[in-house]
Structure 1
Amino acid sequence: MTRHFLDLEPTLENQWRAIILFGRNAASYKFALSKALLSLSPSGELIKLEELALPFAREVCAHLKIAPRQATNSSSRFLEACKRWNAGELTDDQLRNATAKLGFVNVIDAFHNLDARELPNRFFVDERRTNGGIRLTDDFWRLNSASSPEGLKHETESRWRLVETAWELGLSRSLIAFDDQTEDLFVSQSHRRQAVTSCRHALNGYQKGHCFYCFAPISIVPGETTLADVDHFIPHVLKRFLPGNLDGVWNLVLACVDCNRGTDGKSDRIPSVTLLSRLHARNEYLIQSHHPLRETLMLQTGRSAQERSRFLQAIHTEAKQLRIHDWKPEQRGSAVFDVN
């Protein structure tokens, strides 16, 4: 599935997304490094560890205030330094020195690693031994200038929140849910609800920044004209007539305004069978994204790909009996994700 994700439109932006979505994470440092790098201003190719240390560490420090667990291993001298900085026990210089010494031990080596797949491009080269830092490649600067760093930072933050919430709460697979008022994903724990992340930010990477239906470019940055809508693939109005949870992540997609609310938009119609196959492919991307969205989807739709496909077919068939007419828009962009 990771291979399929990259084979369809393997742009630099989508390679970066693959790192964040599909890379294994024994700690949250990959997310911190991603956000720190995306915040850099063009100032040269070689970035010394001392220069990168504080932006990187401050990302970790901010998240430690939200979720004290930031790694599967409970013992970390780097995390202890971050906690001491949060408590006012270390100066900026002390945090910088500790981070340069302890914080980059594994993350730089592991950043570009995916399961059984080598990225076509590299965003930096490790020169810690020779020059005391990393050398940013032309591909990194092309990424920074051609894409929306703010959008990628939102996606990274969302992925980070999902992972650390799972670690912090020992999240059971039934807890990720959608609030259709705030459009956030949340968890329920001890009879209380805790917002985790924006549904837009969580889903956009899997759709590669394009409308689910017509493939037009969309945005997740508030205020931008192409800001995506969160749409129920099987219309929400059918909720009381159909089995399954229509508010489940499996049924949520990001759509452009024209497809969702336009004159010839989807409205309460049922998407075509072709679009149903696309939904299955998008959901399989989510399954490969590991815990916790993986477990949520498998609980809602089936443990195997065959079970999940049958589940979608059954819901779609029942919905068609209620609405009769199906809908499919004119394609307005390249097919950046589709059936596998």
Structure 2
Amino acid sequence: MRFYQVEPTLENYWRGIILFGKNVASYKFALASALYEVKRDGSDLILLEDLALPYSAHICRHLQHAPKQVTSRSSNYLATCAQFNASEVGLDELRSITVRRGFDNVIDAFHNVNNGEIDKRFFIDERKTHKGIRLTDNFYRLTERLQFHNLTHETEARWRLVEQAWAMNVSRNLIAVEYDAQEQQLFSIASDRRVTITSCRDSLNGYQKGRCFYCNESVSLQTGDANLADVDHFIPWLLRDSVANINGVWNLVLACKNCNRGKLGKSSHVPSMRLLKRLHARNEYFINSHLPLRETLLQQTGKTEPQRRDFLNLVWNTAQQTLIHQWEPQAVGPGIF
């Protein structure tokens, strides 16, 4: 995938798993979330017995607000997690059943993206020989990367997006993900009721590989961080009366403060044609990540790649005719799209 080829870093291989791996259950997100919490005590072997509670804790937490965590009609393991939430089974039983049933498919499928295994493995399956998984050097190097602290937020955001798609039965009733600029949240409408899904920052960051969309400077998702990303409208908000659905996810990017509101920042200027091509590439990542951003982009910008490209060219030309001046910042890092 081009996502890795342009910048084949460990964090982008990991993001590939989270963003583009096949989702028939939420177990991948729970396993990733549990691995973020692994204690580094000198051993690279993680016994299922030790992984079971943090893994099941994330599933139990999500079941409380999203009962549908799998595309199949039922799951004996999820039933056990729901029973734990209802205080019908204890912690020891939850751990025992998680060890026996909870990891059946997720460990085998974790590294599979687009019907093939990615080039970098983050753990080795040693359930038959050592009753657990063995973390690789790739995983430990991943934890030392500058972007590692963002991965937790990105995983949680992706999990919530997929949950909402399942809850609304996307296959028959397409979901529209929309943006609340004041709250900086993504939301959808279900049965005439607004449902807040997740942070817009957290949802977009993985697709931009943790960088400012415009200059490639590293950005953060941590509240209070000096490099906290801004959510910006690529086609300026000033044109909301002449560009339809300007709040759509197709037009939302993360930017560093200098590019978004600095003295030499974009302000109400039109980003260059080169940056427009980058927007198209980023939006195609949405398309390839499937539910629910794929369905949203198809509705907002076109069913085919040429239609989506034409849509962006049209709105860019509209912006150019109105605002005249083009803008592009000085790059502080290599292009990643």
TM range (shorter): over 0.9
What's the counterpart of residue 224 of structure 1?
A: 225
Shift of 1:144: 0.9
What's the counterpart of residue 132 of structure 1?
A: 131
What's the counterpart of residue 156 of structure 1?
A: 155
CA RMSD of aligned residues (A): 1.0
Cα distance 1:75–1:173, how it changes in 2: closer, same or farther (>3 A)?
A: closer
What's the counterpart of residue 51 of structure 1?
A: 50
TM-score w.r.t. the length of structure 2 is 0.97
Shift of 1:148: 4.1
What percentage of residue pairs aligned between the two structures are identical? Answer: 53
Give the 5 Å matches for 1:258-337: 258-337=258-337
Shift of 1:145: 1.8
Q: Distance in 1 between matches of 2:150 and 2:202?
A: 8
Maintained 8 Å contact 1:13/1:147: no
Helix, strand or coil: the match of 1:215?
Answer: coil
State whether structure 2 residue 117 is matched by structure 1 residue 98: no
Helix, strand or coil: the match of 2:226?
Answer: coil
Maintained 8 Å contact 1:174/1:299: no
1:202-242 deviations in Å (ceiling 9; x for gaps): 00000000000000000111111110000000000110023
Give the 5 Å matches for 1:55-204: 55-171=54-170, 172-204=173-205
Higher mean Cα deviation, 304-313 or 71-80? 71-80
Higher mean Cα deviation, 144-153 or 154-163? 144-153
Shift of 1:118: 3.2
TM-score w.r.t. the length of structure 1 is 0.96
Helix, strand or coil: the match of 1:197?
Answer: strand
Q: Distance in 1 between matches of 2:116 and 2:320?
A: 40
Helix, strand or coil: the match of 1:186?
Answer: strand
Amino acid at match of 1:269: H
Maintained 8 Å contact 1:211/1:218: yes
Shift of 1:184: 0.4
Amino acid at match of 1:46: L
Shift of 1:149: 3.7
Helix, strand or coil: the match of 2:241?
Answer: helix
Amino acid at match of 2:326: D
Q: Distance in 1 between matches of 2:149 and 2:64?
A: 22
Higher mean Cα deviation, 88-97 or 166-175? 166-175
Q: Distance in 2 between matches of 1:58 and 1:334?
A: 39
1:263-282 deviations in Å (ceiling 9; x for gaps): 00000000000000000000
1:9-41 deviations in Å (ceiling 9; x for gaps): 111111100000000011000000000001112
1:281-318 deviations in Å (ceiling 9; x for gaps): 00000000101110100100000000000000010001
Q: Distance in 2 between matches of 1:10 and 1:222?
A: 28
What's the counterpart of residue 211 of structure 2?
A: 210
Q: Distance in 2 between matches of 1:121 and 1:302?
A: 34
Q: 2:28 aligns with which of 24, 30, 34?
A: 30
Q: Which runs of 5+ in 2 are unaligned?
A: none
Amino acid at match of 1:140: F
Cα distance 1:188–1:21, how it changes in 2: closer, same or farther (>3 A)?
A: same
Cα distance 1:219–1:77, how it changes in 2: closer, same or farther (>3 A)?
A: same
1:20-68 deviations in Å (ceiling 9; x for gaps): 0000011000000000001112121000001000000010000000110
Q: Distance in 2 between matches of 1:188 and 1:177?
A: 9
Helix, strand or coil: the match of 1:193?
Answer: strand
Shift of 1:76: 1.1
